[in-house]
Structure 1
Amino acid sequence: MLSKPVIGNYYIGIMSGTSLDGIDVAIAQRTEHGFVQIAAAAPALDNNLRQQILTICQDKKVELQTLGEVDFQFACACAQAVNQLLEDNQFSAAQIEAIGSHGQTIFHSPGGAFPFTQQIGDANLIAAKTGVTCVADFRRMDMAYGGQGAPLVPAFHQALFAKAGENRVILNIGGIANITVLESDNQVSGYDTGPGNTLMDAWSEKINGQSYDKNGEFAYQGKVLPDLLKLLLSEQYFTQSPPKSTGREKFNLQWLTQQLAQLDSGSNSNADIQRTLLELSAVSISEQIQAHSNACPVFVCGGGALNPLLMRRLQALMPNHRISDTAALNIDPMFVEAIAFAWLAEQRLLGNTIPLKTVTGARRNALLGCVYRP
């Protein structure tokens, strides 16, 4: 059972996902009404740093000095984002109980002979440069007990979004999409469904030099390529049973290029490929949601919630589900994950284990995160 928190505490969450479009940072407060969003921002990541991280993720090779320097730079960027958010909202560091920092994942490999996950963003630096206790390294204890180490947010979704007597699905569409299935009897499950924005982002950047397809405008110009869609959906990850998690290590530009090479795509436009990638995300997500429920509310968060074409396709593919975003649950869809890590920091300081074994496949629920005090 979770300990009763102290009313009035403020926490900060930091999240940077596979899209690498910026650092999401949010202040949340524990009140008698729950965990409430107070303020948030999403400063862009310095382009040079972003490119260095992308290169590390894509090439999967890096000199140790470069890795250390990028780790340092990313931590400084996180600390700067926190300090600016505090200043902009007239908070002092002394008012904040802790920062929960996810870090930036550069490799996630839960299924190998030697399972591991690696995030950068030195929590020592974040604590030192903000003057606030930082909690980080949330995934590896779950993996130490045999879990996938991901997704972590279903426990937060259950704590904040579950409603007695009602089935709900929380759908996060970041670079990778994941679902949390909240059942009316308080049971919870969840896993990564596959690509969310990551393939669309990669193709948009390759073709247009744009880090993402704003409002789905590039995809709107194309049409779905049935043969390509069928080939992409044949990836075995989609039929793998949960618990499961994935990332840029699987779904990346190299993977897409290999798929395209299997088809005669010379007559297809780049916009057709973008439109097909959007359909891949929509179909793979909707099939997984419908495997759990024929009709229940679906609440969407993450950058994909801002793509009107993707949202429209999800609704068309799931006509019996009422789809909205998490603003209907009083949390900005762009900052749900950041606030989740603020909540995880709170739970770590309270000494609460996180109920995730039914999600990640771990042998037991674990105390997640390491504490770094300034």
Structure 2
Amino acid sequence: MRTHGPIALATTLLLACASSACASSRDPVDPVDPVGARQSGPVLRAECYSLLQIESRNPRGGPNPPRDLDDRGRLLFEFFVWENGTRRPLPAPDGYELDLAIDFNERGDVVGTVRPGGGAGVRRAVIWRSDGTITVLPDVEGGVEVLEITERGHVLATAGAVLETRGLLFRDGAWVDLGPGRPSDVNESDEVVLVDGTGAFLWKEGVRTDLGLRSSGDPRINERGQIMATANRAGPGTEAVFLWEAGVARELPGLAFLSDAQRAVGSALNERGDVAGYVIRPATSTFFSYPVLWRDGAPIVLSETNGRATEVNDAGQVFGFLEDDDGIRPFVWDSGSFVALPMPFVATSFTEWAVHGPTLNARGDAVLAMRPANGDTRTLFWRNTRCDGQEPEPEEPEE
């Protein structure tokens, strides 16, 4: 359920355009006027948001950030599903111990991993289905690392040692070997994008297509087969955002008011081909990046304050955060309107999602695990429900 890239710079994808299949739009352009931008979701307004703080720690006592958010406003954590203030535990199947939950789909099917009773042995993939049944998937030599579950219930995973990683796709009751590389994303057509030490590839029904991009990271694919990646490019600056489609990787332009030494990073891709990310100002004494949305190939600067755009939903609405002397301040952006989300404390850091699930859903709900200057990490959940007559759930008490 992902067309979403990493939040943290430490996980930035590095790719290099390595063939004539890369088309360049390197000339920076002026940020486009967002007036008239496409819009099909609910309008996002500050007065429509309520804020919930969800306390959650894993059994080891560490932070337990949410791993996924669906369009109904349900949150997936390592060991339970949260819905309207209620936690539904995920039981371990007979003979196994729960390892952790990873992802869920809109139907409510959850995928994760378990280990044999006693904690010894390799990980096996498991699906907690919305009808209450639990299915342990076939064993894989060496165990599996689960990444994602599609709306059709197909499971994307990886297996093997670090230097011998292979992609796997579970469908029709069996694992399909996708070949060498680490899978990064899958769409509902079972098209999978993978990366390895030599490049990025698209797997489609047994055929691997070289994208012409040298890769060590985490590209995204949507239902149209478009692939978003951050890539090395020739000339000043080391990174740009590329959108691959129908055999051509097109570089998205930078910002006209910055020099050619600027760098760009893509964070998320929606079904329209909109890309959320940020553009890094050329080397200065202080790191500074502009939150940006690329729409129809042109960049829109969402704020003049240092920050990043981390998510874009299919309505073209954006979630991100700004960072300055006042701390980290999340925001949503909708067709030119900037909405600062309420904060219960001054946040000094956020906890990156273990799996890069969406931080913004179709309704405009947003979530991020954040930590105050003095205190433990808390999940902050902004719900866009006040204007549709729904009363916000009460805050959960601290555990």
Same fold (TM over 0.5): no
Higher normalized helix content (fraction of residues): 1
Higher normalized strand content (fraction of residues): 2
